[in-house]
Structures are given as structure tokens and as C-alpha cells.
Amino acid sequence: MSKFQGMFRIVTYSLSVVLITFLLSNSAAAQDGEKLFKANCASCHKINKKLIGPALAGVQERWEDQEALYAWIKNSQDYLKKNPDDSYAQELFIEYNKSVMTAQAVSDAEIGAILDYISNPPADKVAPVAVAASDTDSAPAEDYSTYWLLGLVLILVIVAKILSGVRGSLEQVKLHAEGKDIPEPRGPLAALKDWVIQNKRYTVLIVIVILASFSVKGWFVLKGIGVYQGYAPEQPIKFSHKIHAGENAIECAYCHHSAYKGKNAGIPSVNVCMNCHKGISEGKVDGPVEIAKIYDAAGWDADEQAYTGVEKPIKWIRIHNLPDFAYFNHSQHVVVGKQKCETCHGEVSEYGYPMKQYSELTMGWCIDCHRETSVAMEGNEYYTKIHKELLERYKDEKIEAFTVEHIGGLECAKCHY
């Protein structure tokens, strides 16, 4: 192996190591920031939209003094007390109706990661649209990681190309110095072939990395299409089912009464919360902070005990979300089919904040239950006629308990328009 080839190899290896480490470390830091933001800030802030607090996009430009910004994030109330002359901060507090930004237990490094994430948010993988007590459907946003992978491959190809160009010129210089003829320049394909032959081990490595990334990704894509079991997004208010449906034994129907009447179970409006929270202004877990957000949404001035008339709907993040082409009706299952909420949603009264999706919500999940669950027909007027017909039709097979399958629960058109 010539000296040049050896050098070339070292340069290629180290450059790609640097490149890959750079890409990996960069995305790891971005992820930390995202996690920290979601865990600590997302209940009150969005990046591009006002929530309880201001939209945080461009916040570093709004604060001249970065140290002050860090101090603010750690303890905004303390900052306001110590800096009565910071008119920007003082006015911001007043503009936001003196809603308190709670002290944040985050280190300087963590704040740095959060601010990085804010100024550079990655495309959301799962981006449910916020809805307020409605059933607007949302499609998960596109997954951009494939583009990233293609980008990475492209960059590697370009780097290889540049390096092979450099090597070509180096070799020409060498040949020239040795007084030999300089060969004709060759086409890119022939050059690539040469390069592959001379760098077999390196080529194998690249191919393995590319194949592995695609197959890992492919596996997750196939397995995970539209399956969000366990999905538990942060919500604008830390609402706990455990406190309400569990400890205080409030019935599901108090808040989700439409589940018994129609297709959607619905999310209660803020007025339903106010039925009780006019009187309950502090919680055991979060004190007044979370309930203050209810007042803010309802336009309730707790000092004056009066409505201001300025309402802001609470933007609950929708958790369960069947695609548009599938039809599911709550009352059909809960009232007619006598299914318990818990069968499909788990022990909701034991779930603290945040609420999560318990079942898969895949077609297989619906079908399995329809195959296994028998329909309580006797004594149900709705079924008197159908029951007779079914008994007649299946009398030879001596089937007595009819499942949802027997009443047509596996027919495509029942679930797909």
C-alpha cells in the first residue's frame, strides 16, 4: 500500500467518524432539550403559540441579558422582586394577568438545552392537533427521519467524492514528480469502481450501516403505523382522573355524558369544571397553579368572584384518535352493548396525570373483541326480532350465545364508510 493510500484512508476514516459523531451528538442534545421542555415547560408554553405563558420562539432575542433570562426561568417571582427596574419583565407579568410562572428546578445546562430546542425545534413525530371539546380529527405529522437518513448518505457520498478528487490530484502530483505520464481523467462511475475496489472494508461498512438503518426503521414503521398505545401527551392543565373519578368518586358520566348518548364521549367544557372549582381553588398536589388555569380559561376573577367575560378555551390534546375511515360509536358499545369504559380505557380512576391511551385501537383489537364478546340479547327489546332470526338460522349448530360476529360485527361496511 502506498503512503498516499494509507494517508487517504486515515483521512477518510477520521472525517466520517467526526461527521457521524457530530450528527449523532447534535440530535442527542436536541432531544434532551425537547424532553426537558415537554416535562417542565409545555404545560404552560408552546413554541409558536401563546398558551398560559407567551410563545417562546425568539425569546433569547427579547431578553438583552442572558443571565437575567436564566434567572427568570429558575425563579420568575424571585426575579421580579429583585429587579423592580426590569420594565420588560415587570410589564410581561402584568400583561399575563399576573399569572405566576412557577419556579423551575432546572440547571444552567438544562436551560441551555431547552433554549436550543426552542430556537431549533425538530419536526414533531406525533403531532396531534389540539382540540377544545370537539372531535376534529388530526393526522399524525409526517416523519422526517427518512429525509435525514438520505441527507446523511448524500453527505457521505459528497465527502467520498471530494476526497477521491483530492486523492486524484495528489496522485497526479506524485506521478508528475516521478516523471511518469498522467493518465486520462476517468468518468465518475469508473472512479467509484476503483474506489470501491481499493476500499473494500470501508465500502462494506457503509453498506451495512445503510441497510441496518433502513431495516430498523422499516421495522418500526411496519409495526407502529398508527398505533399509539400508551400515548400520554402533556396537557394544558394537569388534570388527574385519579383525583376526580377515583378519590372523589365523580362518575364518568358527569364529565363524559355524551358517551351514553351518541358517537363521541367528548371532553367536558370549562363550565363543567367551574361547577366545582368556583369553590375549590387549591389542589393538594399543585396548590393554586393548575386551578388558576381553569379560572383563566373561564374568565373567572377569583378576587372579585365574578366573570370577566374573557374566555379562552382549554386546548386539551386529544389522545385517542381513530382514522377518519373507521367508524366507532360510544353509545352503541356502552349502552346497547353494555361494555364498561374500563374494558377499553383501563382503570381510568387510578390514572394520575397525564391520561394515557390504554388499548391499541387497531382493527385487530376491534375484531378480536367482536369475535369473543357475546351479545346480551335476552330481555333486550332491541334484539327480540334479530334474536329469533339468529336462533332459527343457527338452530342446527346449537349456538345459543351469539357474539358480535353473528350480528354482522365483522362486516367491513359496519366499521368503514
Amino acid at 366: C
Residue from the set 22, 220, 254, 394 that interacts with ligand HEC by CB under 6 A: 254
Residue from the set 256, 315, 390, 402 that interacts with ligand HEC by CB under 6 A: 256
373 binds ligand HEC (CB under 6 A): yes
Residues 183-222 that bind ligand HEC (CB under 6 A): none
Question: Are 101 and 44 spatial neighbours (Cβ–Cβ below 8 Å)?
Answer: yes
Residues 116-135 that bind ligand HEC (CB under 6 A): 135
Residue from the set 79, 228, 239, 402 that interacts with ligand HEC by CB under 6 A: 239
**CA 121/CA 42 separation, integer angstroms:** 13
In the complex, minimum distance from the CB of residue 25 to ligand HEC, in angstroms, rounded to a whole number:
22
Residue from the set 43, 46, 160, 406 that interacts with ligand HEC by CB under 6 A: 43
Residue from the set 130, 160, 298, 344 that interacts with ligand HEC by CB under 6 A: 344
Residues 138-167 that bind ligand HEC (CB under 6 A): none
**CA 157/CA 154 separation, integer angstroms:** 5
In the complex, minimum distance from the CB of residue 160 to ligand HEC, in angstroms, rounded to a whole number:
40
What distance lies between CA 162 and its chain's CA centroid?
39
Residue from the set 17, 205, 212, 280 that interacts with ligand HEC by CB under 6 A: 280
Backbone angles phi, psi at 16, to 5 degrees: -70, -35
Binding mask 66-85 for ligand HEC (x = CB under 6 A): ---x---x--x---------
Nearer to ligand HEC, 40 or 199 (CB): 40
Residue from the set 46, 167, 244, 406 that interacts with ligand HEC by CB under 6 A: 244
Nearer to ligand HEC, 160 or 265 (CB): 265
**CA 384/CA 90 separation, integer angstroms:** 70
Q: Locate cell 326480532: which residue?
A: 385
**CA 144/CA 176 separation, integer angstroms:** 48
**CA 12/CA 164 separation, integer angstroms:** 10
Residue from the set 3, 201, 223, 284 that interacts with ligand HEC by CB under 6 A: 284
Of 39, 164, 185, 53, nearest to 104 (Cα)? 39
**CA 344/CA 348 separation, integer angstroms:** 10
Burial class (CB in 10 A: 0-12, 13-18, 19+), 5: middle
Closest CB to ligand HEC belongs to which residue? 283
Residue from the set 343, 386, 387, 399 that interacts with ligand HEC by CB under 6 A: 343
